[in-house]
Amino acid sequence: MIKAWGLGVNRVEPIELTLDLDEPKPDAFLFAGRYTLLDHDRALERLLPTGVGQDVDLVVGGPYSSGILAGGTHFEYQDAPAHIVEKVTRIKKLAERHGISVKAAALQFALAHPATAAVIPGATRPSRIAEDVAALDETVPAAFWTELRDAGLVAPPAPLPIG
């Protein structure tokens, strides 16, 4: 007997189509790379309000955007384009000014949305798991989130972990 079901995808459209079904309603989705500091507009506009309204859990995969938000150089599993590198540089400078890690900002951003049930950061080696746990425990000041939004680095409707 199937007790729960959902999809694991890296695009908004398949989830939207599934949420439009009359029955059976999905329980959860693994949504890779589309609710991150670097890519969240479409998910906020099109997917997450519907998911919250239908009580569907979201598991965010790839919150580090293929590694560029964890100190790597890849975005979408290839060398990051210049506009992404520039955005990451701005986020890094803001994080440094507030004495926090970009990893903490990336994980805590993804978890701040009420539809997010869990985050799967992915680890290239065991030591990365400890880094991820530390990033979750890191205190990110409200001023960081305010400046991030004021700088246009996150969409206005994105829930932020302030407070």
Q: Which of 25-29, 57-61, 128-132 has the lowest mean pLDDT?
A: 25-29
pLDDT at 45 (0 to 100): 84
Ranges of H-type helices in 4-81:
12-19, 41-42, 48-53
Q: Give the separation between CA 104 and CA 101, rounded to whole angstroms.
A: 5
Give yes or no for a cis peptide into 24 (omega within 30° of 0): yes
Dihedral (CA of 57, 67, 37, 82) sign: negative
For 86-104, what is the mean pLDDT? 97
3-state DSSP assignment of residue 18:
helix
Instruction: Work out the mean pLDDT of the chain and round it to a whole number.
Output: 90
Query: Domains along the chain?
Result: 6-150 (3.20.20.100)
In 3-state terms the chain splits into helix, strand, coil percentages (rounded to 5) of 45, 15, 40
Name residue 89's beta-bridge partners. none
pLDDT at 50 (0 to 100): 74
Q: Give the separation between CA 115 and CA 50, rounded to whole angstroms.
A: 10
Close Cβ partners of 59 (under 8 Å, ≥ 6 residues apart) = 28, 29, 30, 31, 116, 117, 118, 119, 120
